[in-house]
């Protein structure tokens, strides 16, 4: 089932959650991967509107989805939130990286607060061939594998998606509050 949702609009978040509940009667897993992609430069170059858009569609939307889904995830649900490899190397991505770090902080807090409810919360920080990443890096020659120790940019479905599925599964029933950098070693090769 596909649901169109602008994560910057609270009413659309609420409607998306209600649509899932109406169709399936339950929610077992929440993956927060949507976030506007405004990476226009340094902290001084970012407009206030850009920063507000990043806040609204990132940490605020993530927290709203988490809070709306909380009652339905109790008893064994899993939340996987998306950070970014920009968190590891923020120059020219400062505001974006800050918002992704806010998602990480929200996730850690939820892992502790909601652990007694048997809700697991983890974060993935990918460096991947997603359409937004490819478009963002196109003016600079596209995603590069030259500085990635494993020699390639991550594949969204296989490298990132499989970890997401694992974290959502019962196989990861003892993992919570963790931050997984999926970047082929990029963060350590600078």
Separation CA 75–CA 91 (nearest Å): 41
CA distances from 165 to 14, 54, 68, 106 (A): 24, 26, 21, 21
Asked if residues 143 and 159 have their Cβ atoms less than 8 Å apart, the reply is no
Whether 188 is a known active-site residue: answer no
DSSP string, 65-79: HHHHHHHHHTTT-EE
Average pLDDT for the chain:
87
Does the pLDDT at position 86 exceed 70?
A: yes
Q: How buried is residue 105: exposed, middle or buried, by Cβ count under 10 Å (0-12/13-18/19+)?
A: exposed
Q: What is the mean pLDDT of residues 140-168?
A: 77
Given 96, 146, 174, 188, which residue is catalytic? 96
Question: 124 by DSSP, 3-state: which?
Answer: strand
Tokens of 166: 């694992």
User: Cβ contacts of residue 68 below 8 Å, gap of 6+?
Assistant: 13, 14, 17
Which domains can be identified in the chain, with CATH numbers? 32-188 (3.40.50.720)
Q: Look at residues 13, 22, 63 and name the one whose alpha carbon lies nearest to residue 1.
A: 22
CA distances from 124 to 24, 27, 42, 58, 157 (A): 26, 20, 24, 14, 13
Strands 29-32, 179-182: pairing is unpaired
- Whether this prediction's pTM lies above 0.85 is answered by yes
Q: What is the pLDDT of residues 66-81, one digit of tens each?
A: 999 999 999 999 999 9
Give the pLDDT of residue 99: 92
Give the pLDDT of residue 149: 73
Give the pLDDT of residue 46: 86
Asked if residues 103 and 32 have their Cβ atoms less than 8 Å apart, the reply is yes
Average the pLDDT over each of 29-38, 117-126, 164-173 and give the range with the smallest value: 29-38
Q: What is the mean pLDDT of residues 31-60?
A: 87
Tokens of 71: 């009652």
CA distances from 143 to 133, 151, 159 (A): 7, 12, 15
Residue with tokens 């609204």: 56
């Amino acid at each position: 089932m596909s649901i169109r949702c602008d994560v910057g609009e609270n009413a659309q978040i609420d409607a998306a959650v209600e649509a899932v509940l109406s169709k399936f009667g339950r929610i077992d897993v929440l993956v927060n991967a949507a976030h506007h992609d405004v990476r226009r430069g340094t902290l001084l170059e970012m407009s206030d509107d850009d920063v507000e858009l990043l806040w609204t569609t990132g940490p605020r939307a993530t927290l709203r989805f988490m809070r709306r889904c909380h009652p339905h995830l109790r008893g064994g649900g899993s939340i996987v939130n998306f950070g970014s490899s920009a968190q590891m190397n923020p120059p020219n991505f400062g505001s974006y990286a800050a918002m992704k770090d806010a998602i990480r902080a929200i996730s850690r807090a939820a892992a502790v607060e909601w652990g007694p409810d048997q809700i697991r919360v983890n974060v993935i920080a990918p460096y991947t061939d997603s359409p937004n990443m490819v478009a963002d890096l196109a003016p600079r020659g596209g995603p590069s594998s030259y500085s990635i120790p494993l020699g390639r940019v991550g594949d969204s479905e296989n490298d990132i998606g499989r970890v997401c599925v694992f974290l959502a599964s019962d196989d990861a029933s003892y993992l919570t509050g963790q931050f997984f950098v999926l970047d082929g070693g990029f963060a350590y090769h600078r």
